[in-house]
Amino acid sequence: MAGHSKWKNIQHRKGRQDAIRGKIFAKLGREIYVAARQGDKDPANNQKLRLAIAKAKAQNMPNDNIERAIKKATGGGDGQDYEQITYEGYGPGGIAVMVDTLTDNRNRTAADMRHIFSKRGGNLGEAGCVSWMFDRKGVLTIDRDSTDKDEEEILLLALENGADDFETTDKGFEITTSPEAFEDVKEALEAEGFTFADAEVTLVPSNKVHVHGEMIKNILSLMDALEDHDDVQNVYANFDVDDEELARYTD
């Protein structure tokens, strides 16, 4: 389970989150807006909104931005309506790819997704073609240098509060929960003073495809293009690659 999303780790390594922070905040704001518009405006009564806010805070999104997105959603019936659509397909080397979008024009977004996949050696598939390869999990990542607590102490605390799994990585600790237990585990760890490099309910591949050589470059090109699209909220894939080989394409 460690390193649940190779793409997530690559984003950190490439510094993409600093380079495109404005775009990341815009996408997080849209997610918060949609969650607030479709449900209760009070996070205490809206789990989807709570999760969106937790995700935004894990990315250090300012509170003013979060509050502005919620306020915009409460402004009446003239707000913009977004449709949530998940696209599934295959990337170079046969890797499975899932793309979460929020769009105000499904025809435009579908055409764009089809173009991005086909131009970069993949193909857009039918609904359900790869979703069976992923499980929805809560994932909390703690950087090693952000805590003075040892591995056993973190492990016991996580498991006592409902975590399903715990892994040590080169950079820190990765805690996996069911979606239902995610908030309880997160709040329990926060009460003990922990902060998270990432904290979200996400899709985790049940099996991975190991890729090599030029295939890595082709896959990263596809993932970058998908992430850069304004309608795309999240991208998930089941590829894996050795860190040493990855360094040739990302450093």
**pLDDT value of position 14:** 53
Are 142 and 197 found together in one domain?
Answer: yes
Specify if 147 maps to a domain: yes
Are 142 and 191 found together in one domain?
Answer: yes
**Which phi-psi region, left, alpha or beta, contains residue 121 (left: φ > 0; alpha: ψ -120 to 50)?**
left
Q: CA-to-CA distance for 204 and 175, rounded, in angstroms?
A: 13
More confident residue, 198 or 14: 198
Are 164 and 198 found together in one domain?
Answer: yes
Number of compact structural domains in the chain: 3
- Closest by CA to 6, choosing from 249, 241, 250, 245, is 241
Question: What CATH number does the domain containing 149 carry?
Answer: 3.30.70.980
Specify if 60 maps to a domain: yes
Are 172 and 193 found together in one domain?
Answer: yes
**pLDDT value of position 151:** 84
Strand ranges of the sheet holding 165-168, from the earlier edge strand across to the other edge? 165-168, 172-177, 134-143, 198-205
Are 235 and 125 found together in one domain?
Answer: yes
**pLDDT value of position 164:** 93
Are 155 and 42 found together in one domain?
Answer: no
Least confident of 24-28, 36-40, 146-150, 212-216: 146-150
Give the pLDDT mean for 171-183: 91
Least confident of 11-15, 142-146, 147-151: 11-15
Specify if 182 maps to a domain: yes
Specify if 124 maps to a domain: yes
Specify if 1 maps to a domain: no
Are 190 and 236 found together in one domain?
Answer: no
Measured in whole angstroms, how far is the alpha carbon of residue 117 from the centre of its chain? 19
pLDDT for 105-129, tens place per residue?
Answer: 999 999 999 999 999 999 999 999 9
Are 92 and 125 found together in one domain?
Answer: yes
Are 112 and 222 found together in one domain?
Answer: yes
**pLDDT value of position 249:** 77
Report the percent of the chain where pLDDT is more than 90: 56
Specify if 117 maps to a domain: yes
Specify if 126 maps to a domain: yes
The model carries a pTM of 0.85
Are 61 and 12 found together in one domain?
Answer: yes
Are 181 and 148 found together in one domain?
Answer: yes
Count the alpha carbons within 13 Å of 111 in the hemisphere toward its beta carbon: 4
**pLDDT value of position 13:** 52
Measured in whole angstroms, how far is the alpha carbon of residue 166 from the centre of its chain? 19
Give the pLDDT mean for 80-90: 92
- pLDDT surpassing 70 at residue 12: no
Range of the domain at 187: 133-205
Are 150 and 236 found together in one domain?
Answer: no
Largest separation between any pair of C-alpha atoms in the chain: 52
Question: What CATH number does the domain containing 52 carry?
Answer: 1.10.10.200
pLDDT for 87-104, tens place per residue?
Answer: 999 999 999 999 999 999
Specify if 78 maps to a domain: no
